[in-house]
Amino acid sequence: MFDPEADFWYENLPNTALGNVLANNISIPGLSPLYPHVHCTENGEICQLTAGESEINAATTMMAFVLSDQFDLRKTYFLSAGIAGISPKMGTLGSVALSRFSVQVALQYEIDAREMPANFSTGYLPYGAYMPYEYPSVIYGTEVMEVNENLRDAAAELATRAQLVTSTDTTDYCEYYRQGGETYAPATAGPSVIKCDAATSDVYYSGTLLSEAFENTTKSWTNQSALTYCVSAQEDSAVLQALMRAAVSGLVDFSRAIVMRTGSDFDRPPPSIGAFQHLRLLDLNGFEISIQNLYLAGLEIVKGVITDWDSTYSIGVKPTNYLGDILGTLGGQPDFGPGSVFGGVGISLASDTAPPVVVGPPTFSPGPSGWTPAALGLYFSLVPWLRSRMRRPSCDVLILRCPQIRSKPNTGLVKISRTP
């Protein structure tokens, strides 16, 4: 997403056997003017792309990337990774979260909380609804994105191999959450790998009321019986939408997308501290360890994909859950929302005729023969990973920056600096 997340890869990956991700720097039209290159290792196994912060930056960058004819991404693994706010109900600073759902929680009506009806618990109201937490009756299509749960679980298992770091400065602030009793117990434990869900919102929200509103939105819109929301982010749904739309044209395999975040701050304060004080006046000291743990956990995932490429990841991790958006774009019936608008068969750009209305379980085709294995990992701070065997250099793992390179890489990256 931004410099600090990417810099950790640039500085530390060369110290491993995986190579230097700045060895090849490829220019692609349409990338962020702040981050105009895709960076790849010498052999093209790992690539990294910084998408930029916010939904618009992430969506436009990813769309430009997946539509580029310089890469073959059909067998690439995408690791979308970045730092995030974390719920003290689910984890602590430095924890690593891997998600099945990404929910665009702010895609709602909003009434100033000072003017909301007395029986409302939040000023957010789903489109077409008359009460908070009703299911929206006006659907845009980006409300919920669901990725391959089996791949998520495999990535989480790989991430547990990392020796996550913490600091005494961080634990000092975490101790305030003991005032919240058992509800906030995860905040006072050490960093760990957790499986939960992500909220996407350009609004950097903070505070108990907003965080509880969006955790309930996540529960409602994903049709789950328990609270699974754990991290707040700005880009995940945007990245997944771009990948899904590319999958419709056969450019990527959406079942190879991974969403990972690390907690750099808490999305709500402990009971004794005010929301503004928590957001702007106090230092939680979680930034440095979140950046480190993002790299440490991500590195294990990348290494796992590369090491087990022939035995596991070349053919893919078969999904057993629904994949895609609320509309049923990729086929199958969503396990959330009003059901597929495409009759369960999804859409294909290969035909100009409307798909027949057929209701059934999700189906996944193997894709055309003759694919060159391309695994891509997208890092959402965007440090992507790409495991790919490319046509022009052979690419085994791409860190989201380099799928199969079809043209000669442009070297000589111009470093663009940003002031935080």
Higher pLDDT, 204 or 372: 204
**155-176: per-residue pLDDT in tens?**
999 999 999 999 999 999 999 9
Torsion angles phi and psi, residue 300, rounded to 5: -65, -35
Tell me the mean pLDDT in the region 218-230: 95
Which one, of 382, 393, 420, 395, lies nearest residue 10 by Cα?
Answer: 382
CA geometry: angle at 399 spanning 396 and 402, to 5°? Answer: 70
> What is the percent of the chain where pLDDT is above 90?
80
The predicted pLDDT at position 56 comes to: 95
Which one, of 387, 355, 391, 386, lies nearest residue 372 by Cα?
Answer: 391
**378-418: per-residue pLDDT in tens?**
333 333 333 333 333 323 333 443 344 444 343 333 333 33
Structure tokens at 231: 């991290």
Q: Is 83 helix (H, G, I), strand (E, B) or coil?
A: strand
Residue 420 scores a pLDDT above 50: no
The predicted pLDDT at position 412 comes to: 35
CA geometry: angle at 22 spanning 20 and 23, to 5°? Answer: 70
Which one, of 411, 371, 404, 406, lies nearest residue 44 by Cα?
Answer: 404
Which one, of 79, 64, 68, 4, lies nearest residue 33 by Cα?
Answer: 64
The predicted pLDDT at position 297 comes to: 98
Structure tokens at 85: 């706010």
**191-200: per-residue pLDDT in tens?**
999 999 999 9
- Tell me what the pLDDT averaged over the chain comes to: 85
**24-81: per-residue pLDDT in tens?**
999 999 999 999 999 999 998 999 999 999 999 999 999 999 999 999 999 999 999 9
Q: How far apart, in whole angstroms, are the C-alpha atoms of residue 263 and residue 278?
A: 15
Specify the DSSP class assigned to residue 397: E
